[in-house]
A and B are shown apart, each in its own frame.
Chain A
Amino acid sequence: MEKSKPRPRSRRTQKTWELRLYVAGQTPKSLAAFANLKKICEEHLAGQYHIEVIDLLKEPQLASGDQILAIPTLVRKLPEPIRKIIGDLSNTERVLVGLNLREQS
C-alpha cells in the first residue's frame, strides 16, 4: 500500500527488498510498526524497497502462508532467505540485524 519515493543516492547494489508487514487492524502496535519500518527503510534502503501491508482482519486466509503467529510481523521476502521480525520494530538496531542490514555485533 505504500511505495517509497525513489532517491538517487543508492549505496547498495540494485536489489529490491520485498517487505511484508502483517497487522491486525489499526492497533497502536501496528501503526508504530509501520512508522518505524518506513523510517528505517528510508534511511537504509531508500529506493530499493517495497512494503506491502497485509491486514489479517481483512484477509485472514493469508496468515498461514507466511506462518504468521505474532502481530505485528515483518517478513523479508526478498532478498532470500526469508527473515521474520516480530514486534513493533521499535528497536532499530535489532530490526537492522534482523533484516541483515547490519552485522550482529
Chain B
Amino acid sequence: MTPAKRKRQQVKLLPKSPTGIPGMDEITGGGLPKGRPTLLAGGAGCGKTLFAMEFLVNGALQYDEPGVFVAFEENAEELAQNVASLGFDLKELIKQKKLIIDYVRIERSEIEETGEYDLEGLFIRLGYAIDSIGAKRVTLDTIEVLFAALPNQAILRAELHRLFRWLKDKGVTAIVTAERGDGTMTRFGLEEYVADCVILLDHRVTDQTSTRRLRIVKYRGTLHGTNEYPFLIGKDGISVLPITSLSLDHKVPSGRVSTGVKELDDMLGGKGFYLGSSILISGTAGTGKTSLATAFVDAACQRGERCLYFAFEESASQILRNMRSISIDLEPHAKKGLLQFHVARPTLYGLEMHLVTMYDLIKEHKPDIVVLDPITDFFAVGSKAEVKATVTRIIDFLKTNQITALFTSFTSEEDAPDQSVVGISSLIDAWISLRNLESNGERQRGLFILKSRGMAHSNQIRSFHLTDDGIKIGAIDLAGRRTQLNQP
C-alpha cells in the first residue's frame, strides 16, 4: 500500500472491483474491495466455487480483468464441466489468455515431511500465473485443503499470513473460499487472515424449502447492506436479490388501462387502472377473483397486449373452460401467443426459485400484464415476512419494467374481510375487494374499491354478477334499499 493511501483522511473512497453478479454489486456499493482479499465462507454446496468462478469469468468478459483460479479441490476439466451449463466457456477464456486454472493437487500420503520448509513454491506458481496473463483477480478455492495435507500447522499459518499479505502487495482482488466451521465462521480460522471483507453464504432448509442466503459480515471502509440476502443459482449463474429495491425511482407512466369491465372502469374515474400499476383483487372463496382477473386479461389481449398468467391453483385448461362459462374466451389469445399461462404449484420449489422463474419468463415473454393467481398460495412455502419480501421484489421488478401487475388474494371467511393477508397493501396501487354479502336469504357478490392511488374513485359497494354474458356490476340491494348508482 502506498503511503498516500494510508493517510488518515482518506479522500478517495475505497476502490471496488465489480463482481458482475446481479444484485451483488448493489448491496456492496460497487463490488469487492479492489486489490484486497475477500473471504467467502460457507458450508458444503452453498455455491462458493460458483461465486468465485463467476467473479473471475465476469472480470475477464466484462471488465477486462484477467483472472487466476487456483483450485485445490477440482481440476480444470471438472471445473469447466461444472460451469458449462451456465454458459461459461472456460476453455475459450483460457485460450484467450483471460483465465488460468491452476489445479493444485496435494496428496497427504505422497508427502513426507523432514525439517524446515515454506510454501514459496505456491507463491511462485501463483506469481507466475498472475504475471503471465496480467491477472487482476485471483481465487483460491479452497486453501483449507492445505491444512489436511500439511501436518505442520505452525508453518502453514505463518505462510498463509504471508500469502494474504503478498496478494495485497500484488494488488490483485482475491476471493479466498473457506468451509464453514462448527460454531466458527471458518473451520481453520481463516477469518483472522482476511480482514477486509468477509461474505457468508448459507444454504438453509425451512419447512422443506431450501433457500440460499448471502450476508456481508464485514466490509472495511465501506457502507454495505447488512441483511441476509437470498440468492439463487439460476440458469445464468448466481443472482443476489436484495429484499427491497434500493431505489424507488421507477418511471411512472400516466396512461390508463381498462379493467375489462365497463362499470368498473367507471368506478375508477372512468378510465380504469393506471398502466404499470400494481393491482390487488382480494376476496373470500367463490367471489369471482379469477373471473375479474381474466376479464382484465381478455380486454388487454383484445387490444393486442401481451399477458403472462401465473396460475398456482388451476390448470390453464381449467381456467379456459371455466371462463368460457361467463363468455370470456381466452383460447384465441393463448393460440396467438399473446397470453401465456405458467402453471406451478407453489410448493414445487422455494420462493426464490419461483421468483427466478418469474423473472426468466417475464424477460422471455415480455408481457404488458402479469397476473399472479393467487399470491396467497405462497404462504405454503414461506412465512409472512418472506412472502412480503418476495411480492415486494416482484412488484419492484414489474414496476421497473412498466408492467401492469394483477394479484389475486384469498381472504378466509374468519379474517377481517379487508385484511390483506399478505400485508402488502402499502405496495398496492389499486385494490378491489370482493365479498359475499348475505341478506334477505340471498347471497350477493359485492365489490368495492378499497383504494386506488392517484385517481378519484367510487366509494360505493356494488353488486357483482357473473353471468352467461360476462361480468356485470350493478347496484346493490341490501334489505330492499338500493344504492343510488349515480352517486360517486
The residues of A with any CB-CB pair to B shorter than 8 Å are 22, 24, 29, 32-33, 56-57, 60-61, 63-64, 67-73, 81-91, 94-95, 97-98
Is A29 touching B117 in the complex (CB atoms < 8 A)? Answer: yes
Q: Which residues of A contact B125 (CB under 8 A)?
A: 60, 63-64, 68-69
Give the distance to chain B from A65, nearest Cβ to Cβ, in Å.
Answer: 10
Interface size class of B (residues with CB under 8 A): 20 to 34
Binds A, one of B55-63, B105-113, B348-356: B105-113
Q: Which residues of B contact A64 (CB under 8 A)?
A: 102, 125
Knowing A63-B128, A64-B102, A67-B105, say if A24 contacts B112 (CB, 8 Å). no
Q: Which residues of A contact B104 (CB under 8 A)?
A: 67, 69
Q: How many A-B residue pairs have CB under 8 A?
A: 95
Q: Which residues of B contact A98 (CB under 8 A)?
A: 112, 114
User: Is B442 positioned at the interface, with any CB of A under 8 Å from its CB?
Assistant: no
Candidates B102, B110, B112, B121; contact of A97 at CB < 8 Å: B112
Q: Which residues of A contact B223 (CB under 8 A)?
A: none
Is B127 touching A71 in the complex (CB atoms < 8 A)? Answer: no
Please, how many angstroms separate the alpha-carbon atoms of A13 and B111 in the complex? 25
Is A22 touching B111 in the complex (CB atoms < 8 A)? Answer: no
Knowing A64-B102, A70-B150, say if A22 contacts B115 (CB, 8 Å). no
Candidates B113, B115, B122, B128; contact of A69 at CB < 8 Å: B122
Q: Which residues of A contact B116 (CB under 8 A)?
A: 29, 32, 87-88, 90
Is A87 touching B121 in the complex (CB atoms < 8 A)? Answer: no
Interchain Cβ contacts under 8 Å between A and B, 12 examples: A29-B117, A60-B124, A60-B127, A68-B121, A70-B120, A83-B112, A84-B111, A85-B113, A87-B117, A91-B115, A95-B114, A98-B114
Q: Most B CB atoms within 10 A — which of A32, A70, A85? A: A70
Supplied contacts A71-B121, A83-B110, A86-B112, 9 more A-B pairs, CB within 8 Å: A22-B121, A29-B116, A29-B117, A70-B119, A71-B119, A73-B117, A84-B110, A90-B115, A97-B112
Q: Which residues of B contact A85 (CB under 8 A)?
A: 111-114
Knowing A69-B104, A71-B119, say if A63 contacts B124 (CB, 8 Å). yes
